[in-house]
Amino acid sequence: MNKYLTVDEAVNILNAGGVVAVPTETVYGLACMAENPEAVSRIYQIKNRPADNPLICHFQSIEQLMEYIETPLEAALILLKHFTPGPISFLLNLKKESTLKAATGGREKVVARIPSHPMFLSILKKLNKPIAAPSANSSGKYSATSADMVLTDIGDKIDGVVDGGPSSAGIESTILSFSDTAINILRPGVIGPDDIKEVLKSSNIALPVLYAQSAEVTPGSKYKHYAPLTPLVFIDSIANYHPNKHFALITVDEAELPYQVDANTFSLGSIHKPEEIAANLYRTLFEMDQLQLAKAFLYLPTIPDKHWQHTLYNRIQKMIQHT
């Protein structure tokens, strides 16, 4: 069966309660109608996702989102208007008796995102309904940033994939939550605290913007995440890498290798272009996995940009985090 779908084929399958992978500007999403409990439960099975980890929901516009949520705080509204459609998500209060509780596992808040990828936006507009779409990967593994990565991981379990090319950001969206006293970054991403503060400043809002990831708020953050299949070891000096045909090294352009670059050596890019490191990270883990080696080593020196240092290490730390 051909697993590659057109936008219209994907719309028909979703409408009938199916599960398909869709491209987004962050990572590929595993999509179903958010208000369909059976389709939602299939996503948990396909991903082997813990039942206490709710699904992020995607909307075609702010107007559509407003039909589902209580009026957000002013800061949330300003940031929604400024950054969406785009790689950012908002934890917001659902209206009472919400039909989205199938996707949120009964929670009264939803993580909501309006994506900018034109193919996904087109699917959302044609369906005119919210779509639940966690990252399109087996639970615990790195997210897929291309259609071939999705098919290699979960191709036999899904109804198809819409190929929208490589995801431009390559890491998952920034997730924000709001209170009267602060804006919390629950998951760091391409959009960082300085970008957020700048937008608020022009509206005369001076709330602190804090990194405040909490497993209580976003249950997904307590699990091992983003890991390759090949056992991965972190090294804080390149001198700790002893090349061997059974080992791979993943590093950056600045690393001074004590040996000749070979097929088992991967560079994520330059530490002065952290967006490129982010865009290459999961793809590189995928390519490294194809070599089926005994072990991989990751050497990533400090990234000069503080927000990117925090964001990339957030992902990397979780690759070895166990619960």
Applying CB under 6 A, the residues found at the interface with ligand TXA are 24, 26-27, 29, 53-56, 89, 91, 104, 107, 109-111, 113, 133-135, 172-173, 175, 217-221
Quick one: 55 or 119, whose CB is closer to ligand TXA?
55
What x-and-dash track marks residues 81-120 binding Mg ion by CB under 5 A? ----------------------------------------
Shortest distance, position 194 Cβ to Mg ion, whole Å = 25
CB 152 within 8 A of CB 286: yes
Quick one: 82 or 101, whose CB is closer to ligand TXA?
101
Of the listed pieces 4-12, 127-135, 203-211, 237-245, which binds Mg ion according to CB under 5 A? 127-135
Quick one: 117 or 274, whose CB is closer to ligand TXA?
117
Beta-bridge partners for 71: none
Cβ-proximal residue to Mg ion, closest one = 135
Q: What distance in Å separates the CA atoms of residue 5 and residue 159, rounded to the nearest whole number?
A: 9
- Parallel, antiparallel or unpaired: strands 109-113 and 57-58: parallel
Shortest distance, position 219 Cβ to Mg ion, whole Å = 11
**All residues at 6 or more sequence positions from 62 whose CB lies less than 8 Å from its CB, including other chains:** 80, 81, 84, 114
Query: For residue 207, which amino acid is it?
Result: L
Residues 185-214 that bind Mg ion (CB under 5 A): none
Quick one: 200 or 315, whose CB is closer to ligand TXA?
315
Q: Is 309 helix (H, G, I), strand (E, B) or coil?
A: helix
Q: What distance in Å separates the CA atoms of residue 315 and residue 301, rounded to the nearest whole number?
A: 15
Of the listed pieces 73-81, 128-136, 240-248, 285-293, which binds Mg ion according to CB under 5 A? 128-136
Quick one: 53 or 321, whose CB is closer to ligand TXA?
53
Quick one: 39 or 271, whose CB is closer to ligand TXA?
39
Binding of residue 135 to Mg ion (CB under 5 A): yes
Quick one: 249 or 312, whose CB is closer to Mg ion?
312
Q: What distance in Å separates the CA atoms of residue 161 and residue 146, rounded to the nearest whole number?
A: 10
Shortest distance, position 222 Cβ to Mg ion, whole Å = 13
Closest CA to 78 of 183, 250, 175, 199: 199
Torsion on CA atoms 79, 82, 87, 91, rounded to nearest 10: 20
- Parallel, antiparallel or unpaired: strands 109-113 and 88-93: antiparallel
Side-chain half-sphere of 213: how many Cα atoms within 13 Å? Answer: 15
Work out what residue 218 binds among ligand TXA, Mg ion, none; the CB cut-off runs from 5 to 8 Å by kind: ligand TXA
The residue to which tokens 């979780």 are assigned: 318
The residue to which tokens 């022009």 are assigned: 202
Of the listed pieces 15-23, 130-138, 202-210, 211-219, which binds Mg ion according to CB under 5 A? 130-138
State the residues that interact with Mg ion by CB under 5 A: 135
